[in-house]
C-alpha cells in the first residue's frame, strides 16, 4: 500500500458516513472479540476506532488486525461509519490493513512510577497526555512569533556560548572551549542589548541554562527562554508589552486547543481572565505586607521564593506584576528608580494557581559610570564586560527588556502539576534522561 494520500484522524471524524478513508498511525488500543477486532489508531491529530469483522472485512484483514500489537505502526483503508460507542462517535470499517512496523511487548502498561517514565521518556512522549501538551506548546510558539511580528520586532539569534555571567556565576555551566573557559548561556540579554542599537526592537526564543541547585516542581536546568529588548522603552512600556504577549498567547490556546485542554482536564474558566489586560500591579513592599498578613515570616529586603510566590498567587485570579524590588536583590544591569534609588525599576510577572514567576524584566542601566560601579559592587570584573560597557560609551539610550520562561507558562496554561511535562525531554541535576 502506498504511504501517501492519507487522511488524518481529525479529517475522518468530519467525513460523511459511507465515505472512503485511508489512515496511518500507531495502535493505541487493541481488542480482539473473536468475530470482530477493534483497533484505536493514534496519529498526530488524535485517535480513531478501526474495526475489522468476519462479516464485512476480508479474512486477511481480520488476521492482520489480530496480529497488530500496541504501538505497531499500520496503514489502513475502509468506509466511514457513525457509532456513538466509538471515540468521537466515528469508526472506520476496514477492507485493507498493513502492519508496517510490528511492535514488541510495549514496556509502558499503566501505573508506572515517575522515575521509570522518565527513564523511558522516548516512549512515554507518545502518550496522549504529553502529545496534548506538545500541541499546546506549539500553538504558544507560533503565537509568540505572530505577536512580535505584528509589533514590529526583529527576531535574532544570539550565541549559546558566552564569556561572562549575566545572572551570577554560581549558576553557570562551564565549558572548555578549545582550552579557554566559556559558559553555556544563562540569558541572551546582553547580546540583545547590543542589537537594539541597530534594530531597536529585538527578540529571541532559544535555550538557556541555569546550574542552580534547586530542584522544585518549576525548575529545569535547560529551558526555553523567550527574551526581548527594546530601545527607547521604560519599565511601564515593557510591562504593557509583557501583559499583551501573555494575554495573546493564552487567547490563542483557548481558540485552538480546547480539545487538548479538555483531555488534560484543564479548567478553561480559570484561563479566561488572563486574556484581559491590564494585569494587577503591586510593589514589592506591598507583597511583603500581604505575606506577613498571611502569616509568612519575611522582611523587607528578603528574596521571595517559590513558597512565598505561591501564597501571593492565591490573592489573584489573573497574572499580576510585582515591581520595585530592593536593588540588592536584582542583577547589576537593572536601573535604580530615580525617585527611590534603593529600588530597582524591575518587575516580575507571576502566574496564578500557585505557578509563580513566569517573566522577569526591568529597565536597564544606561549610564556608563553607574553601570561600571554596579559591576564592581557585585564583585564582578569590569574587564569581562568591556564590550557591554561599550554600548553605554557609544550612543547609549534608555532601554528595557524581559525574559519569559516558556516551560513555566506552558505548565500554567496546561494546568500541569510539574514542569517536567512541559518540555519533551527535561533535564535535571542528578540525571540526563534520553
Would you state the pLDDT for residue 428?
A: 77
Rg (CA), the chain: 26
Outline where 276-384 has alpha helix (H).
284-293, 306-313, 368-377
Q: Answer yes or no: do 84 and 133 share one domain.
A: no
Q: Specify if 108 maps to a domain.
A: no
Q: Answer yes or no: do 287 and 400 share one domain.
A: yes
Q: Answer yes or no: do 32 and 79 share one domain.
A: yes
Is the pTM higher than 0.85? The answer reads yes
Q: Answer yes or no: do 406 and 282 share one domain.
A: yes
Q: Answer yes or no: do 69 and 144 share one domain.
A: no
Please choose, from the candidates 246, 239, 279, 278, the residue with its C-alpha nearest in 3D space to the C-alpha of residue 363: 239
Angle between helices 306-313 and 284-293 (to 10 degrees): 80
Q: Answer yes or no: do 321 and 413 share one domain.
A: yes
Counting as low any pLDDT under 50, the low residues of the chain are none
CB 341 within 8 A of CB 367: no
Give the C-alpha separation, 104 to 124, whole Å: 15
Q: Answer yes or no: do 279 and 312 share one domain.
A: yes
- Overall size of the chain counted in residues: 434
Q: Specify if 37 maps to a domain.
A: yes
Q: Answer yes or no: do 93 and 123 share one domain.
A: no
Give the C-alpha separation, 207 to 406, whole Å: 10
Q: How many domains does the chain have?
A: 2
Q: Specify if 393 maps to a domain.
A: yes
Would you state the pLDDT for residue 168?
A: 59
Domain span at 57: 9-101
Would you state the pLDDT for residue 216?
A: 78
Would you state the pLDDT for residue 165?
A: 66
CATH number of the domain residue 71 falls in: 2.40.50.140
Would you state the pLDDT for residue 270?
A: 98
Please choose, from the candidates 208, 212, 209, the residue with its C-alpha nearest in 3D space to the C-alpha of residue 226: 208
Residue 45 corresponds to which cell in the numbers above?
491529530
Domain boundary residue, one of 54, 74, 101: 101
Q: Answer yes or no: do 203 and 72 share one domain.
A: no
Q: Answer yes or no: do 243 and 140 share one domain.
A: yes
Model confidence over 300-320: pLDDT tens digits? 999 999 999 999 999 999 999
Please choose, from the candidates 422, 401, 399, 329, the residue with its C-alpha nearest in 3D space to the C-alpha of residue 359: 401
CB 103 within 8 A of CB 27: yes
Domain boundary residue, one of 56, 76, 101: 101
Amino acid at each position: 500500500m502506498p504511504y501517501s494520500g492519507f487522511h488524518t484522524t481529525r479529517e475522518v471524524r468530519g467525513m460523511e458516513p459511507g465515505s472512503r478513508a485511508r489512515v496511518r498511525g500507531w495502535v493505541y488500543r487493541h481488542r480482539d472479540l473473536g468475530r470482530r477486532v477493534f483497533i484505536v489508531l493514534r496519529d498526530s491529530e488524535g485517535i480513531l476506532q478501526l474495526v475489522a469483522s468476519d462479516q464485512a472485512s476480508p479474512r486477511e484483514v481480520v488476521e492482520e488486525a489480530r496480529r497488530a500489537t500496541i504501538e505497531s505502526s499500520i496503514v489502513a483503508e475502509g468506509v466511514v461509519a457513525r457509532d456513538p460507542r466509538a471515540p468521537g462517535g466515528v469508526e472506520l470499517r476496514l477492507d485493507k490493513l498493513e502492519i508496517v512496523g510490528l511492535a514488541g511487548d510495549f514496556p509502558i502498561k499503566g501505573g508506572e512510577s515517575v522515575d521509570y517514565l522518565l527513564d523511558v521518556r522516548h516512549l512515554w512522549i507518545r502518550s496522549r497526555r504529553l502529545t496534548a501538551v506538545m500541541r499546546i506548546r506549539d500553538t504558544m510558539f507560533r503565537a509568540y512569533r505572530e505577536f512580535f511580528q505584528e509589533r514590529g520586532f526583529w527576531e535574532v539569534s544570539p550565541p549559546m556560548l558566552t564569556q561572562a555571567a549575566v545572572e551570577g556565576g554560581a549558576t553557570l555551566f562551564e565549558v572548555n572551549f578549545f582550552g579557554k573557559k566559556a559558559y553555556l548561556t544563562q540569558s541572551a540579554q546582553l547580546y540583545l542589548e547590543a542589537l537594539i542599537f541597530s534594530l531597536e526592537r529585538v527578540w529571541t526564543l532559544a535555550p538557556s541554562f541555569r546550574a542552580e541547585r534547586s530542584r522544585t516542581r518549576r525548575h529545569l536546568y535547560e529551558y526555553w527562554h523567550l527574551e526581548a529588548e527594546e530601545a527607547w522603552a521604560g519599565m511601564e512600556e515593557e510591562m504593557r508589552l509583557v501583559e499583551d504577549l501573555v494575554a495573546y498567547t493564552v487567547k490563542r490556546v483557548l481558540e485552538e486547543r480546547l480539545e487538548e485542554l479538555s483531555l488534560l482536564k484543564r479548567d478553561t474558566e480559570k484561563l479566561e481572565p488572563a486574556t484581559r489586560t491590564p494585569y494587577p500591579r503591586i510593589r514589592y513592599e506591598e507583597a511583603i505586607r500581604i505575606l506577613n498578613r498571611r502569616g509568612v515570616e519575611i522582611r523587607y529586603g528578603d528574596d521571595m521564593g517559590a513558597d512565598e510566590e505561591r501564597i501571593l498567587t492565591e490573592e489573584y485570579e489573573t497574572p499580576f506584576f510585582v515591581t520595585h524590588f530592593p536593588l540588592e536583590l536584582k542583577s547589576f544591569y537593572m536601573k535604580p528608580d530615580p525617585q527611590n534609588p534603593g529600588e530597582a525599576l524591575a518587575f516580575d510577572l507571576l502566574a496564578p494557581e500557585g505557578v509563580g514567576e513566569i517573566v522577569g524584566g526591568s529597565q536597564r542601566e544606561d549610564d556608563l559610570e553607574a553601570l561600571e560601579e554596579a559591576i564592581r559592587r557585585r564583585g564582578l570584573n569590569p574587564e569581562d564586560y568591556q564590550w557591554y560597557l561599550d554600548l553605554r560609551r557609544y550612543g547609549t539610550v534608555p532601554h528595557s527588556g524581559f525574559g519569559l520562561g516558556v516551560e513555566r507558562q506552558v505548565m500554567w496554561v496546561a494546568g500541569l502539576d510539574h514542569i517536567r511535562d512541559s518540555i519533551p525531554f527535561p533535564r535535571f541535576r542528578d540525571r540526563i534522561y534520553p
